[in-house]
Amino acid sequence: MPSFRPQKDIKNIIDRYLSGKATAEEILFLESYYDYLSKNENLGANSAEDLQNLEEENFDAIRTKIALPKKSKIIPFYKYASAAAILILICGGFYFFFNRDITNNEIEPKLATVENIDVLPGTDKAILTLADGTKVVLDDKTTKNISDKNGVTISKAKHGQLIYAAAGSNHALAHKTVAYNTIQTPRGGQFQVLLPDGTKVWLNAASSLKYPESFVGNTRNVELSGEAYFEVAKNKDLPFHVKSLNQDVEVLGTHFNINGYMDDRTIKTTLLEGSVKVSNFNSAKLLKPGEQAIADLSGNSKIQITSDVDTNDETAWKNGLFQFNDAELKGILNQLERWYDIKIDYSFVPNKRYNGMVPRKAKLSEVLKMLEKTGNIKFEITEGKKLKVLR
């Protein structure tokens, strides 16, 4: 993947933004990343070298322009590093999608194939199933306090997060019967969970996580279906295990992503920080940061380790992005199917690959236009949220 630093052509896009001539796609990407970074102030710039490539006057002008009120809402700008990171990421994203038409000042007219019917992106929503079988819908209408049983309180915070907290003493919890909960995201949904031990889990669309209301015994065990990003709370005395299909990931405290959708045919474990042990029926491997373990879903093949992976690609979904690095069109369509809750006609899928970046808050038509523009391809959205590749 190209590094996130300004190129000569990228400056033309920045100039158009500063002069008020930016396209809708450019503005959409900018606002989406600003909104994300304003909620994640600890995200820093990619590197000192990238910062040196920025022209200070352009940076200050963009920072000022982004911070102007939009619809009477002012989003706080947290840190200089975050602002620098947004500019770097914007430049990289624009370069991927517009490098073939960078000299054009206007984007092509709307394409008829996606003009009249559109699909909104996914939102924070899920279904929580409690130990007694009670099901709770988690969305914007869900009340804050959900349950206060078995010495554990369950509450819903803002921005799609479920929080578990131990209400009783550790001694009392250690001797109680383990009660399991399951949180499941539908197609077109995502959610976060803060487990009782402090572990944070981000669930992607069409995924589920089964976990105890409180961790007792000598290990912390959860079961995953689909995709999730984990930030495991460190506890050397209680190893954390993620069971996913026919694979087990063992950690003490680390950050990693597991992607195990059935339609992707493989399960991928990507390590960002710390170390993990990945094992299945046939092999076991230790991962170092920046490495990825790949195995088939049966668990019968040997686990393959690769360092030829961009961790930003693997975790982009958590950060509100689709990010493609030489990605097959079918894999991209699989992601769109889950996030937009649509039905894909796979009868004709050309062998095309993409490099690109687009916010997940974009409407389906906006994503398709970018794919059409850079890949000489056309799509059709029909009634019933069906998507077909025309050529």
pLDDT in tens, the chain (391 residues): 322 323 344 455 556 666 666 665 555 555 554 554 444 444 444 433 433 443 444 545 555 554 443 332 322 322 333 343 444 444 444 334 433 333 333 334 344 344 467 899 999 999 999 999 999 999 888 878 898 877 789 999 877 899 998 765 554 455 567 889 999 999 999 999 999 999 999 999 999 999 999 998 899 999 999 999 999 999 988 999 999 988 999 998 899 999 999 888 899 999 999 999 999 998 999 999 999 999 988 888 899 999 999 998 999 999 899 988 889 999 999 999 999 999 999 999 999 898 888 889 999 998 998 888 877 789 999 888 999 998 7
CB-facing half-sphere around the CA of 128: CA atoms within 13 A: 27
**Token pair for residue 197?**
């031990």
Report the SS3 class of residue 372. helix
Say if residue 334 is exposed, middle or buried (CB neighbours under 10 Å; 0-12, 13-18, 19+).
Answer: middle
CB-facing half-sphere around the CA of 247: CA atoms within 13 A: 29
Nearest in space to 14 (alpha carbons), one of 27, 4, 3? 27
SS3 helix, strand, coil % of the chain, rounded to 5? 25, 35, 40
Beta pairing partners, 323: 357
pTM as predicted: 0.74
Q: What is the dihedral of CA 46, 47, 50, 55, to 10 degrees?
A: 100
Distances (CA, A) of 73 to 66, 69, 128, 212, 335: 12, 5, 32, 40, 31
**Token pair for residue 87?**
């500019």
CB 233 within 8 Å of CB 227: no
List CB contacts of 185: < 8 A, sequence separation 6 or more. 125, 126, 191, 203, 204, 205, 206, 207, 208, 226
Distance CA 387, CA 116 (A): 13
If phi > 0 it is left, if psi is from -120 to 50 it is alpha, else beta; for residue 180 that is beta
